[in-house]
């Protein structure tokens, strides 16, 4: 099967997302093409990756680049959300500056969402912006975090509170890398795929209901699902690069999701991002039902599909105890989707009919959370 | 005297630089205008400043804003270049996030170049970009660093190696603040003013030769010099926001200047930025003379003017000992104006005839530096 290309069309520049099998073993020519480099003489790239990906795939990628005379500087960070920190950012930046990489050299983020966010942020602020390429290795990163140019790290006050908008020169998504992805991680990425259906593509949700199990196998259905997802996200980003409008729809399930991730202190044993978003989307639908926007049968339908693929759907699926409703509210209020104390949520009026709901009162949310917590106690 | 406005016209947005006396006591309405806020109800600003400015002027600014119902969050950092560090950046960001300022709130950098660079960088990466306003308090900041959107901090590997391009909503330059500026700091800013003449405005250099002493007094000549300088820089930035071309001319004297600042470990007792740039510009002219681009009488003419206003002009004016030429070369090579090991310098073919000289060999510079160091030993 040949690689397919989805183009992200932005005001100032376009870039390609290349999707297909075995791209890692052909990466050099793609990098050359994207950076408009005539030859690789003296070209240097920093390969930012995590310990898991390094043990599985770094040798292969380094061999491909070295064979093609690209000098590589591997920078391996600890796997997991805790690497989206100020201290890891500083370490990565210091290593890149120590090797004297220049603006025209390149930073490659070779990993999942954490590596893409961290590597992209570093690339965006070193020398006020170096060349940057995404090579996402997880389903979540391939369909979501590598597309659209959001970069960042976490703060003690919340997730992704420090970062930039910074677009890569290209995204190289080797679907074969997904074969080594743990099932739980694959499921978490799948939740974001379902999100695209729930936002405004009811057909895609129905297609996933039919084909969901096949997306979990390494065939053409998986690749098709990735291409459709990238195309959807690329279109939204093209229309609203800096999230002044409809891009906020991508936050469906994310305000509740971030709240849950913070409440579980980013402990991946308890919850990973896509799982938090799955539960968050169910909560957003339940809230929509409570506000009489939808019938609760829609929520049940989505729950059924999530359960069929093994995703969590409710607060009681999270191991350990959660803080009380007022503490959860504090976490929401610090989230970046807050504007002048009127809460903004992505709610829905039906399957694939999500919308940006402003001026949701804190009391509405507090009461809703109290009720949800009461159900599990 | 009324305030004058210089507009910076960029592709995506324009913003105004307001220049005049006593603007600090009328700041609230200007802030309101620039942020398109109908009222100040609930509006909050973080006021980033340093200990020196805080003791002189913070009360006045806070009183003006509070009176107009803008909630202020003062963040006072240590005065001096050492505050352009990762640790101070993190402290500033944490304080802003702790007070829950949102994207639509505003960060005001109230200070000199250090505060502008640090505050602008923080504003650009908190929540992927908050509103930002510059209120420069030094001559250097009013005519140079507050204009054009460069932000950043220093690294152990060199100055300004970590940062962003991020434009303010407006710049409010209260010329009365210059009355409390130490003479040495005023001179340092004046060096950058002379630079604008040397880049491509021989008329302005000649005007400064005639009026330089008056620029040091608090009259209309000073204001005129500031307005002309801002207009010059705004024009160059408008034509080349991200320094892909002629904006690099603004680095006249800066490659040598940064080298000297790093060599003196940013010790302001020995050297401050504008002083380093003054010596750097003389070195750039001497190098141009050595490459037979100009006659050395031009260098002497500039030295004479610098000496007349009390600026240093040569390596021996720097207190303490300097490292050897090879160490200085290492500092230059890490500087960001390096591309693939061919050094780029701003040289000149005559008064106000500077140009970007690429492919200057390391050997040429090494020999030149050895010679300069030999002269003072």
- Residue A39 pLDDT > 70, yes or no? no
Residue B157 three-state SS: coil
B138 is in an annotated binding site: yes
Spelled out in words, what is the top-level CATH class assigned to the domain B4-179?
alpha beta
Round to whole Å and give the CA distance between B255 and A13: 31
pLDDT bucket at B342, cuts 50 / 70 / 90: confident
Q: B-side interface with A, Cβ within 8 Å?
A: 42, 86, 90, 93-94, 97-98, 100, 102-104, 121, 124-129, 150, 152, 155-158, 161-165, 242, 333-334, 336, 338-341
Chain B residue with minimum CA distance to A159: B127
Contacts of A340 in chain B (CB under 8 A): 42, 102, 104
pLDDT for the residue numbered A102: 87
pLDDT for the residue numbered B336: 45
User: To the nearest whole angstrom, how far is the Cα of B67 from the nearest Cα of chain A?
Assistant: 21
For residue A193 the two structure tokens come to: 């795929």
Chain A residue with minimum CA distance to B158: A97
Round to whole Å and give the CA distance between A123 and A97: 11
Over the stretch A355-374, which tens digit does the pLDDT of each residue have?
A: 999 889 889 999 999 999 99
Q: Pick the catalytic residue from B169, B258, B285, B372.
A: B258
pLDDT for the residue numbered B338: 52
Nearest CB to B162: which of A126, A158, A333? Answer: A126
A94/B155 CB distance under 8 A: yes
What value does the mean pLDDT of chain A take?
93
Could you confirm whether B78 is annotated as catalytic?
no
pLDDT for the residue numbered B253: 97
pLDDT for the residue numbered B12: 80
- Residue A288 pLDDT > 60, yes or no? yes
Over the stretch A316-348, which tens digit does the pLDDT of each residue have?
A: 999 999 999 999 998 887 654 455 567 899 999
Over the stretch A16-25, which tens digit does the pLDDT of each residue have?
A: 999 999 999 9
For residue B362 the two structure tokens come to: 């390391």
CB B83 within 8 A of CB B77: yes
Could you confirm whether B103 is annotated as catalytic?
no
Q: Region A162-185: what's the mean pLDDT?
A: 96
- Which contiguous run of DSSP H or E holds residue A117? helix A113-125
Nearest CB to B164: which of A93, A125, A339? Answer: A125
Round to whole Å and give the CA distance between B152 and B147: 14
pLDDT for the residue numbered A338: 52
Contacts of B262 in chain A (CB under 8 A): none
Enumerate the CATH 3.40.50.1970 domain ranges in chain A, comma separated. Answer: 4-179
Length of chain A: 377
pLDDT for the residue numbered B335: 58
pLDDT for the residue numbered B2: 79
A273 is in an annotated binding site: yes
A254 is in an annotated binding site: yes
B340/A42 CB distance under 8 A: yes
Taking CA B123 as the corner, what is the angle to CA B122 and CA B125, rounded to the nearest 5 degrees? 70
* Least confident range of B7-16, B183-192, B230-239: B7-16
Round to whole Å and give the CA distance between A343 and A357: 8
Q: Region B336-359: what's the mean pLDDT?
A: 83
pLDDT for the residue numbered A211: 96
Right CATH for B183-375 from 1.10.132.20, 3.10.450.50, 1.20.1090.10, 3.20.20.10: 1.20.1090.10
Nearest CB to B157: which of A98, A156, A242? Answer: A98
Q: Pick the catalytic residue from B150, B187, B195, B372.
A: B150
Round to whole Å and give the CA distance between A162 and A333: 16
Q: Region B15-44: what's the mean pLDDT?
A: 87
Q: Which of A128, A241, A331 would you mutate first to test chain B, the one with the most B CBs within 10 A?
A: A128
Backbone angles phi, psi at A77, to 5 degrees: -110, 165
Round to whole Å and give the CA distance between B207 and B253: 21
B93/A126 CB distance under 8 A: no
pLDDT for the residue numbered A337: 45
- Residue B340 pLDDT > 60, yes or no? no
Residues sharing a CB contact under 8 Å with residue A192, sequence separation 6 or more, in sequence order: A140, A143, A144, A229, A274, A277
B100/A333 CB distance under 8 A: yes
- Residue B326 pLDDT > 70, yes or no? yes
B94/A155 CB distance under 8 A: yes
Query: What share of chain B in percent tops pLDDT 70?
Result: 97
CB A7 within 8 A of CB A45: no
Picking from A8, A17, A294, A273, the residue whose alpha carbon sits closest to that of residue A133 is: A17
Round to whole Å and give the CA distance between A329 and A55: 40
Enumerate the CATH 1.20.1090.10 domain ranges in chain B, comma separated. Answer: 183-375
Q: Region B245-272: what's the mean pLDDT?
A: 93
- Residue A260 pLDDT > 60, yes or no? yes
Please count the other Cβ atoms lying within 10 Å of the Cβ belonging to residue A356: 16
Within its chain, how far is the Cα of B139 from the centroid?
A: 9
Over the stretch B166-192, which tens digit does the pLDDT of each residue have?
A: 999 999 999 999 999 999 999 999 999
For residue B28 the two structure tokens come to: 């609230």
- Residue A243 pLDDT > 60, yes or no? yes
Q: Which residues pair with A75 in a beta bridge?
A: A48
pLDDT for the residue numbered B337: 45
pLDDT for the residue numbered B11: 84
Nearest CB to B104: which of A94, A150, A339? Answer: A339
pLDDT for the residue numbered B168: 97
B97/A340 CB distance under 8 A: no
Residues sharing a CB contact under 8 Å with residue A222, sequence separation 6 or more, in sequence order: A175, A178, A214, A215, A216
Query: What strands lie across the sheet with A44-50, from one edge to the other?
Result: A4-9, A14-20, A170-174, A131-136, A106-111, A44-50, A71-77
- Torsion angle, alpha carbons of B68, B74, B78, B84, to 10: -90
Taking CA A219 as the corner, what is the angle to CA A213 and CA A220, rounded to the nearest 5 degrees? 105
Q: Region B217-226: what's the mean pLDDT?
A: 94
């Amino acid at each position: 099967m040949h690689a397919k290309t989805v183009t992200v069309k932005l005001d100032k520049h376009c870039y390609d997302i290349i999707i297909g099998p075995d791209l890692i073993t052909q990466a050099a020519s793609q990098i050359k093409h994207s950076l408009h480099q005539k030859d690789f003489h003296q070209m240097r790239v920093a390969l930012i990756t995590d310990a898991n990906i390094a043990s599985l795939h770094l040798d292969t990628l380094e061999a491909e680049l070295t064979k093609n005379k690209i000098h590589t500087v591997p920078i391996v960070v600890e796997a997991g959300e805790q690497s989206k920190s100020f201290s890891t950012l500083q370490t990565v930046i210091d290593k890149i500056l120590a090797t004297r990489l220049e603006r025209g050299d390149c930073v490659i983020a070779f990993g999942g969402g954490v590596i893409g966010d961290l590597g992209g942020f570093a690339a965006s602020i070193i020398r006020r912006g170096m060349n940057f390429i995404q090579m996402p290795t997880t389903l979540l990163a391939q369909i979501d975090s590598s597309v659209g140019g959001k970069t960042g790290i976490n703060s003690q006050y919340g997730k992704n509170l420090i970062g930039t908008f910074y677009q890569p020169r290209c995204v190289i998504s080797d679907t074969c890398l997904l074969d080594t992805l743990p099932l739980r991680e694959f499921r978490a990425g799948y939740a974001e795929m379902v999100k695209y259906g729930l936002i405004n593509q009811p057909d895609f949700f129905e297609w996933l209901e039919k084909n969901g199990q096949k997306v979990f196998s390494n065939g053409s259905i998986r690749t098709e699902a990735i291409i459709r997802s990238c195309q959807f996200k690329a279109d939204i980003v093209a229309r609203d690069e800096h999230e002044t409008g409809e891009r906020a729809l991508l936050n469906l399930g994310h305000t509740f999701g971030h709240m849950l991730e913070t409440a579980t202190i980013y402990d991946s044993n308890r919850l990973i991002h896509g799982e938090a978003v799955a539960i968050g989307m169910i909560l957003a639908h339940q809230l929509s039902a409570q506000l009489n926007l939808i019938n609760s049968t829609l929520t049940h339908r989505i729950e059924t599909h999530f359960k069929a693929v093994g995703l969590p759907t409710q607060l009681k699926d999270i191991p350990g105890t959660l803080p009380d409703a007022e503490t959860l509210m504090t976490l929401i209020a610090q989230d970046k989707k807050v504007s002048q104390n009127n809460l903004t949520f992505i709610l829905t009026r039906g399957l694939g009919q999500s919308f940006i709901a402003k001026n949701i009162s804190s009391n509405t949310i507090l009461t809703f959370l109290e009720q949800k917590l009461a159900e599990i106690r």
